[in-house]
Amino acid sequence: MKNRKLLQGGGGVIIRANAVVAKDGTGNYETISAAIAAAPGRSRFVIYVKAGVYNEKIHTNKDGITLVGDGKYATVIVGRDSVNGGSTMPGSATFTITGDGFIARDIGFQNTAGPAGEQAVALYAASDHSVFYRCSMTGYQDTLYALALALRQFYRECDISGTIDFIFGNAAAVFQNCNILLRRPRPGNSNVVFANGRTDPGQTTGFSLQASRISAASDLAPVKSNFDCYLGRPWKQYSRAVVMQSSIDPTISSKGWAEWPGQGSFSKTLYFGEFSNSGPGAGMSGRVKWAGFHALGPQEAAKFTVGNFIAGSSWLPSTGVTFIAGL
């Protein structure tokens, strides 16, 4: 169909796209920006984006936007702004969403500035009740900025790649059945997956990685012994991150976690935890001995599940995303 595509939503319900984007003119719009501009911002607006590379810089505060592509590497939004290139860190983002209820499915977000670009965000997500399903987030330093303070985000079957602090911010976010790919950094640098920015112990924010895989990307794998790689480090005093029921390859240092430079005292106030992980990089004997690091039992780990940490059972069914509520 030229102007509409039937999409399967939650519970097998067939929904019709409100707009179709295609670079070849076979849709309603040739850019994603134009399709979003047409959305009312008050109700669900579904945009089907046909396969292609869309060189766009998008910022929207509209609620209820759904983007559906043809695959996480088939439909890709690409930018290359970076701090080293003159942008601010938030301003470097290829795609910024601050409206609530955002859903992205089968689509990719990339920042191609490269490791020399320093901070270069692919996706800046400050959206409550947002879902990223079968998406890719590709960059180097600061790939995914999950900012939404005390708000809930869910990432399922996503490929997220980068080098330094490439999943960072202060959302309450669960990453489930995702591929976390460590890329080759600049010489002398280390790789860090999570840099959570929780600033107060009363905040309900943090990052939870469940039933996922952490491994070296193809560019890092041949030289992984030359670089230190960590699960996370504390960006702020009460940083919180948990890795559970996931496969960790030997790219990750036996220490597991790293300090933030000059902030050794954070090791007492942060909350980092691991539960029931597997793989050569999952051994606990060499892990940091910080007061804030925890080898979790099932009762404590259950606090960081979809059902408990982001109350997903109450809002995810309507989005059509697959999820596991518990351990």
* pLDDT band with cut points at 50, 70 and 90 for residue 117: confident
| Average confidence score pLDDT of the chain | 95
Residue-level pLDDT at 195: 98
**Quick one: pLDDT at residue 2?**
41
The 10 Å Cβ neighbour count of residue 52 is: 17
Kindly tell me if the per-residue pLDDT of 10 is higher than 90.
no
Kindly tell me if the per-residue pLDDT of 53 is higher than 50. Answer: yes
Split at pLDDT 50, 70, 90, the class of 116 is confident
Q: Supply 73's token pair.
A: 């590497």
* Tens-digit pLDDT profile for residues 200-246: 999 999 999 999 999 999 999 999 999 999 999 999 999 999 999 99
With a CB cutoff of 8 Å and minimum separation 6, the contacts of 310 are: 152, 153, 154, 172, 173, 174
**Among this protein's residues, is 249 annotated catalytic?**
no
Q: Which helix (H) or strand (E) holds 145?
A: strand 144-146
What domains can you pick out in the chain, each with its CATH number?
A: 49-319 (2.160.20.10)
- Predicted confidence (pLDDT) at residue 21 exceeds the cutoff of 60: yes
pLDDT tens digits, 242-294: 999 999 999 999 999 999 999 989 999 999 999 999 999 999 999 999 999 99
Low-confidence winner among 47-56, 113-122, 160-169, 295-304 (lowest mean pLDDT): 113-122
The reported pLDDT for the residue numbered 42 is: 87
Q: How far apart are CA 312 and CA 153, in angstroms?
A: 9
Q: Is the pLDDT of residue 31 over 60?
A: yes
Give the per-residue pLDDT at 106.
Answer: 97
DSSP character at residue 298? H
The per-residue pLDDT for range 158-198, each reduced to its tens digit, is 999 999 999 999 999 999 999 999 999 999 999 999 999 99
Mean pLDDT value of segment 65-92: 97
* Backbone φ/ψ region at 250: left (φ over 0), alpha (ψ -120 to 50), beta: alpha
The pLDDT value given to residue 5: 55
Report how far residue 139's alpha carbon sits from residue 164's, in angstroms, rounded to the nearest whole number. Answer: 10
pLDDT value for 316: 97
Strand 240-244's sheet: what is its strand order? 19-21, 45-49, 65-68, 103-105, 130-133, 152-156, 172-176, 206-210, 240-244, 271-275, 293-295
Residue 36 clears pLDDT 70, i.e. is over it: yes
CB-hemisphere CA count at 13 Å for 288? 24
Q: What is the mean pLDDT of residues 76-96?
A: 97
Query: Residues 303-315: what's their mean pLDDT?
Result: 98
Cα–Cα distance measured from residue 82 to residue 16, given in angstroms and rounded to the nearest whole number: 37
| The one catalytic residue among 106, 128, 142, 165 | 165
Q: Is the pLDDT of residue 308 over 70?
A: yes
pLDDT of residue 16: 87
Residue 1 is predicted with a pLDDT of 34
Percent of all residues in the chain with a pLDDT value above 70, rounded to a whole number:
95
| Structure tokens that stand for 138 in this block | 């590709």
